[in-house]
Amino acid sequence: MAPQSDRSPDEGQPYFGGAEDPSSVAGGGSAGSRGASPARTTLAPRETAARRKGKARRGRGKARNEGLLSKQKRSRRMKANDRERNRMHHLNSALDALRSVLPTFPDDAKLTKIETLRFAHNYIWAYRDLRCHMSGGSAEQLLPRPYLPGA
């Protein structure tokens, strides 16, 4: 397949499908198939669960043997799986929210997770830099307030 390089859009620029920025943060990685074709769509959690039901039971082999696990253990595991699934769904929602505020081209191009994070990093960095230059201050003065959990 085509060599992938994490798209690292130029700071402050909308992301253009195939554009690459070799000087970007952490180098190399994924590429450009998805930019060109937004075919991959994130399934809604419910839809995902339903659609993936089949493979949900896939296992890692050994400890999988039914009967080895007590009913209580099994039940606890299932609950843990459920929480983990939810946790990941929340994480993905947050990622979607982040995607939604990042400019891309075309508009409906979907950034991968790693691309989203790297782009957001660049974007924030560039924005801070821009404000710094406009205000004549130092970048440190423009650092966002630290995140306060629960605030």
Contact 115, 7 (CB under 8 A): yes
Map residues 118-137 to x or -, x wherever contact with DNA holds by CB under 7 A: --------------------
Q: Determine, following the binding rule CB under 7 A, whether residue 45 of this chain makes contact with DNA.
A: yes
- The residue within the footprint of DNA, chosen from 12, 25, 87, 143 (CB under 7 A), is 87
List Cα–Cα distances, 97 to 1, 34, 86, 120, 131, in angstroms: 30, 19, 16, 11, 24
- The residue within the footprint of DNA, chosen from 12, 25, 26, 88 (CB under 7 A), is 88
Provide, rounded to whole angstroms, the least separation between the CB of residue 104 and DNA: 13
Q: Determine, following the binding rule CB under 7 A, whether residue 94 of this chain makes contact with DNA.
A: no
Contact 119, 102 (CB under 8 A): yes
